[in-house]
């Protein structure tokens, strides 16, 4: 009997089909105050440093606060990561886009004055 119960259990799990799975999304929490060292540098490290460390690709260095702030204040950083076609699109295809929460964080960081600490 035990063996039969185990077979039924495995058979039912193996053939169970899920119809219309529901994707749950985690809300994007963006703090009011963001800093380069606290939140922005880790995003850039993961997504930009592979190409944009001194001497950066295209002359753009993203590995230090001063250079990142200059690119951010020029508008080039946001326009590139939102894929404004009048700017060089970053990250370039076929690489994946930045996470929408990361884009929101970068925008908020710029809007609140590009604080380092």
pLDDT tens-place string over residues 77-107: 999 999 999 999 999 989 989 999 999 999 9
Q: How confident is the model at residue 10 (pLDDT cuts 50, 70, 90)?
A: very low
Please tell me which residue, 8 or 86, carries the higher pLDDT value: 86
Considering only CA atoms, which of 95, 49, 102 is closest in space to residue 78? 102
Mean pLDDT of 38-47: 96
**Res 2: pLDDT:** 40
CA 78, 45, 93: angle at the middle one, nearest 5? 60
Q: How confident is the model at residue 29 (pLDDT cuts 50, 70, 90)?
A: confident
Distance (Å, whole) CA 77 – CA 103: 10
CA 35, 104, 116: angle at the middle one, nearest 5? 15
Please provide residue 54's backbone torsions phi and psi, each rounded to the nearest 5 degrees: -55, 130
Is residue 16 pLDDT above 70, yes or no? no
């Amino acid at each position: 009997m035990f063996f039969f119960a185990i077979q039924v259990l495995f058979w039912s799990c193996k053939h169970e089909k899920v119809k219309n799975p529901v994707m749950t999304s985690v809300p994007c929490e963006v703090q009011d105050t963001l800093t380069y060292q606290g939140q922005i540098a880790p995003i850039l490290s993961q997504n930009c440093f592979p190409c944009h460390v001194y001497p950066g690709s295209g002359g753009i260095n993203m590995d230090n606060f001063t250079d990142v702030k200059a690119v951010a204040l020029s508008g080039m950083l946001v326009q590139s990561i939102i894929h404004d076609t009048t700017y060089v699109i970053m990250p370039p295809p076929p690489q994946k886009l930045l996470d929408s929460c990361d884009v929101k964080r970068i925008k908020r960081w710029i809007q609140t004055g590009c604080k380092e600490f």
